[in-house]
Structures are given as C-alpha cells and as structure tokens.
Structure 1
Amino acid sequence: MLPLRVGIAGLGTVGGAVLRRLTGDAAAIAARTGRPVQVTGVAARDRAKAAPLLGEANWFDDALDLARSPDIDVFVELIGGHEGVARSAVAAAISAGKSVVTANKALLAHHGLELAAAAEAQGVALAFEAAVAGGIPVIKVLREALSGNTIDRVCGILNGTCNYILTRMEAEGLGFAECLAEAQRLGYAEADPSFDIDGFDTAHKLAILASLAFGSAPDLDAIHVEGIRSITSDDLRAADDLGYRVKLLGVAQRTDHGIETRVHPTMVAKTTALAAVHGVTNAVAVNADAVRELTLVGPGAGGDATASAVLGDIADLARGSTVLPFGRPAALLEHAPRAPMQRHEGGYYVRLSVRDRPGSIAAIATRMAAAEISFESIMQRQPVAAPRGAEPGFVPVILITHATSETTIREALDAVEAGGTIAGKPQLIRIERN
C-alpha cells in the first residue's frame, strides 16, 4: 500500500515530538493503521536547528510551498496564530486537496466555520484533536462517541498554567505573583502570560467545545472572559473552609435564554471530579441525556501529550477514516442564540473589606435584602495578608449567597460601594453547584 505522505509545518515542542514519533515508531504506526505513514516535507523557521530531525524529508523554506506540494497528502499545521502564515497555509492546503491536521485553537475559534466549509467542499479532512486539552481525546468524544446524545453542558479546566498557579497558591499559601514566576521558570507559563492567566486561551478552546456540543458555529465573541489575576490566598483559604476549591473553568451550557458560554474563576465543591484536578492537568466534564455525566482527565499540554493527539488524527487519515470537522455539515452550523452573562444565575462568593464600626454589616445586609438576595452564610475573618485596597479600620467579611442573577448581584454591590461602608472593590467569585 502506498504510504500516507505527511508534511509538517512548525518544529517547536509539539512539531518536534510529532516528527520524532512518526519516524521512530513508523513500524508500529503502520501496523496499527494498516498503512505506512511517511514524513516527506518539513517547514520551520530554523533549518539548522531542524536538520537533526529531518531524516529523508524535504526542507521547505515557506510553509505555503509545503502546503501546496504534490509530494504530501496531509498538511500538519503546528505554527500557531489565527492569522498570517498559519491561516494562509491551511487554506492553501485545503484548496490544493490536502487534508489538514492542526493543533491551532485560535485559528479554529476565529475561522473554524470558514475552514470547515472549504474542507467539505474539497472532500478533505480538517482534524484538530490537539487543539483542546492536549492528550485528552475530548474532540472525538463530543463529535463521535456522544453523537447519539443531546448535550446540555460542557465544563472544563482547559489551561494548565492557571491550574498550576491556583494549585500552588492553595497548597502552599503563596501569592499569585510568586506562583506565576515559578510557572514561568518551569516553562508552564510564557514570558508574557496574559493569554493564559487572563482566560483567553481557555476561551478559544471553549468556543470549539461549544460548537461541537451544540452544533453551532464557533462564536468567540459570545464568551464572557475573566482571568485569575484577582484571586488571593485569602479567597483560596476561605474556599477551603467552605468545602470548595477555586478553578478557572470554561463553561458552555443550554439555558432558557440561549447558549451561555463563560470563562472565569469558579468555586467547585471538593466532592466533584474537577476539584480533584491539580497542577498542569486538564479535565472536561460533559453532561448529556444518555450518559448523564462523563469526565475526562489527563495531560492538557506539553510536547508528547499534544503530539499524541496529532498522531491520533494522522492515524485516522491513514486508516481512511474521515468525519465532518464539527460533526455536522458546516452549512448547518448556525449562530446559536446567546445567553448574555447578565442573565446567568447561581450562587456567589463575595469578599468585602468592611468598615469596622457598628451597623456596617447590617447596612450591607439591608442593601442586599432590597435586591432580594439571601445569604447562605456570612463570615468575618482575619486575612493571611492585608487585602488589596484595604485600609486601617476595615475587616474582611465573606458572604455566600443563594442563587441570584449576575445583574442583581452586580447592582447590589454597586449600591454597597456607594454606601461608603467598604474599601476597595468587592471580590466576586461564582459558585458552580451543578
């Protein structure tokens, strides 16, 4: 049988791991798929650095030339970025009748619908298992294994950097800045960590998961995004006392108002599977009518884990197995009704720095009651360190609310701020009780 000829664009951590495994495990891959897989072309920025990995593969200075080469059947895009050469090369490969395998979450979140339609028109595959949750096969599960289910909710820890930082902060009582610096030293966080810690990486991945779960077009603009910069050791200590852990979650769910998609720090009960996920590990929980709840846990990043997902897609193509990129024809992927974040309903953790004088807490409770917000608990406690924005004569007070709407809690806290009984901005963390 003729080999499946693969061209790889990008030889960073993931690309290098893919190339090494395709060449080093060639016999085993051929045995598993029934067809040899051969790397016939490589494009990367540094030829000298790539030289030891090339073997018999041809070198291309330009990824576009590799994408159009008649000597490849599959174009593997591991360049990154949603514009520029990555987008141009993937489009060129599809136009030339090549199947595409990519780990590029940003490309799919921004241009997935357009690329899926082009791939379907050309009769080629657009495969992207590696774009979400690294080595966890969540794309295949949503698109194929659960195709007989109606999915109500997808929720996950999708960024290892944030989970590592929150895990260290909780376990060792360290501050955010200290844990971020350690994550950077270990290579878990970039020199500019904004994409990770401000929630945008998770949002790109959630856009893809929501599309697969609900049959809608990827809609990055619909996602409410918050990061973890505001989380303190005091929040994590309070969460622990209350039976919760704080995780950065990406959540997509059906509501009476439409599809709600959101990324933010969340308190999750210690009894849940997501609360037990520590360090750089990722996890995705899916709620569906037939299987009820399914949770997948595993390595969410790193060269070998992500390469494993890329290789899985290549193996499917070697077997002749192709599916619609988003599980249904691109023409049927409509923009689902958005549920605005203001309509979100749930419990909330609120930390306030309250003026230490008689009547202050009563005044806050009165304003909350006027908004018809009831409390599950109220706690006054000493902080590990002075909260940001705190002043002498103020004490930290923690409120846990019963279910209320985002609009209601925000308006009530605005009224509390205006009343002059607190210092600084209230800390607000949503509580996930599903």
Structure 2
Amino acid sequence: MPTRARGGRAPDGRSRWVGRRRIRGLVHAAVATALAGALLTGSAEAARTPPRTGFETADGARWTSPAGERSLLAAVGRRGDRVSVERIGTTEQGRPLRLVRIGSRRPGALTVLLVCSQHGNEPAAREACLTLVRDLGYARDRATRDFLARTEILVVPTANPDGTAAGTRGNSDINRDHIALRTAEGRAIATVLRDHAPDVVYDLHEYGADPPYYDKDLTVLWPRNPNVDDRLRDEAKLLAARYVRPAARSAGHDSGLYGVWTDPVTGRPVKQTAGDGQEDILRNAAGVKHAVALLVESRVDPLTDAERNDPAVNNRRRVHSQLASIKGLFSYVEERRGAIAAATAASRAAGAAGRGPVLLGGADNEAPEPGDVLARPPCGYRLTAAGFAVVGDELALHGVASRPDGDGAYVPLDQPARKLIPLLLDARAAYHLINGQADTAC
C-alpha cells in the first residue's frame, strides 16, 4: 500500500499518541484518562510497584506470555476485597479460563463486561485488557475508587487460551458459539452473562483489512440482530458514535464501522461486507440478553512505512487504539449510567411481559423475510424427555427457565428470555438447538 498522510500521524508514521518514548507511560496515560472529565486525570498510585506486562517490557516487540499473564493476574488478585480472579472454565486442552472482577459488588452497581481476544490470533485486545486489569487493580486515586464504588468491571482477559497459545482462532470459532454453546469457552461466557447480567458488554477483536476501502485503525459495530430492544441498540449506537470513536480520534486513530467499506476520498460507504445479525455472535447474543453491546476491532495490518518496517510500532498502535476505545467506554458508563440501567431493565421487563413479535432472521438494516417474522409468537415450546436431555444444560446456561411437562419439559415465553427462546427452539431459526413443539393454545 502506498504511504499516505493520515490525520493525527507524526512524520515517522506513528500516531502522535504512540510517538512517546515509553510504552508504559502511554498505557498509563490511556487508562488514567479512561474515565474522562471528572474521573482519572493522572497516573494510578500504588502501594507498591505494579507488575508490567511482557508486551510493555518488550516495548511492543512481543506479546505477554501465558506465564506472564498468570503472574500479573496473581498479583492483581492480591489487591484486596475489591479485586478477585476466578476460574470460570477449562479449555479442551486443559488451560484455565479466568474472570477478573474489580469494583463494587453492591446491588444497583452498573456491571460492565469486557471479553478480550475470542480469536487467539488477535492479541492486541488481550494486551489492552491485561493493562486495564493491572491499572484498575492498582489504582489508589479517589476518582477511580469512586468510579469503582459504583461500577463492577468484569474482564475475561484471554477468552481463547488455546488459540492464543497456538496463534490461531483456536479449536473452533468461539464467536460463532454463543447459541449452541459447544465450546468450553462459549459456555463460560454464557455463565458470566447469566450470573452477572452485565449492563454493558464490550467485545474486543482485531481484523485484517482489504485496502484501500477498509483501512481504519479502529472499527466498531452495535448488535444488528432485530430482536435487540431498540433502547439497547440506540444506547450502543450512542456509545459508538459519541464516545468510542471520538476517543479513538482524540488519541490519533481514525475510526469507522466494522464491515463497511468506505471510499478513501469521500468517506462515503461503498458496501457492507460483514456485520450481520446472526444471533450466535457475541455482540448479538449479548444484546438479545439485555445488554448494551459493542464490537470493537483494531486493525492488524500495518498502515504506514514505519509500521511495516518495525512490527513493534504496528503492535503498539494496535494496543493503544484498543486502550483509547476503553477510554470512551468508561466515559459513556460514567455519564449515562442511569440511562443504561433504565434501558437494560426495560428490555428485561418487555420480555417478561410478552409483548411484540420475534424475528427468526434478518438484521436491523434489512427487511426480514416473511417467514422470519413470528407476529404472534407461541405461548411456549414443548420438548420431549429425550430432547430436553440434549439441550437442558444449554437452556440453563442461557438463563432460560423451564418446567416439567409430562415426560418432557415446557419452556414458556413469558420470561425475560422471550426473544431468545425461539432462536433456540424453533426449527425455522438458523442456529436453533433442537426442534421444539410450538404451543399456540394461549
């Protein structure tokens, strides 16, 4: 790709934010401003020196090793009663899946979940999340402590340990397993969604580009599944447009919508190549499960001569753009916590009240096929004993309530998971688990 002038770039091709001398200072600066405005304005103080990631120690020349991650998380886990590191599963190859909890455990606190590097060959998200965990765990300033007193931050720093170890997407595509729950990783994330009911789900990835139309430092996308409550989708779009993308631009990174090719001259969309409404992707599944969800993708490929000549420069840009996006996320949470809580509560209440149609396909930017619309959804679905034996665990992991029904089970729709249930049990849904018998005698 020819060298091009890009906004916010220094002459050597680095973003101005990335052009500082030490990566550690950059990382702390990103997290130190992550709450913006009245929140973090300086480096986090610590009772003792915080550990550094392997990525920081190498100045971006290599990624943090699994041993380095274990050591860092062990240190963070000793930071007191506001921090814990829990094992939430074990991969097919025997590696632990970990959840870090930082902040308030009180009822009414807003809960934010960050899921990092579902694909093992997308390491920048993992590095950003390890840095975030460390800096929040060691923060001593009042602004951060006040924020964490009202917010619980949940982080799955390595959502695909087997893939990370191999440098691949892993044994299977975890980000296509949030309906079937065939993988240990998908089941672990489903458990977190069920047990913690996060208000916001932030899904961090990386992408490979096809220049010149798909070449942004950072791209984002909200849930497109048509069953996501409009209030949640509106909040996710607001999070993207007013917080995450401006934060990226302020840090010297350009930003766009994931899956949308844009003309490099006019900036207008050319076509959409990715980002549909399929329900087994995390941003869509989380939205159907009543969270404000957002996908964030940093670009893997180098964009400048400096990045092509030195992979460490490219790696730093990838991680820093992710950290900048987290700055926008935290600003959003702080400024709109009341609106977020109201939107997630309204979405759950609408499900329990049994209102509105359910769509078995389509996306928010396309009209559904006539056969995809359940204008009058059934009262519930009946499962045989054999059928329930096959999918009962998965229904429980999804937080779907059922009750005995003769020799089998009955899954009523009048529950918060109302718009999820047909996606699991209706034969017409693309990723359904089993063919349930629709009960229309309401």
Tell me if both proteins adopt one fold, taking TM over 0.5 as the criterion. no
Q: Whose strand proportion is higher, 1 or 2?
A: 1
Which structure has the greater CA radius of gyration? 1
TM-score by length of 2: 0.29
TM-score by length of 1: 0.29
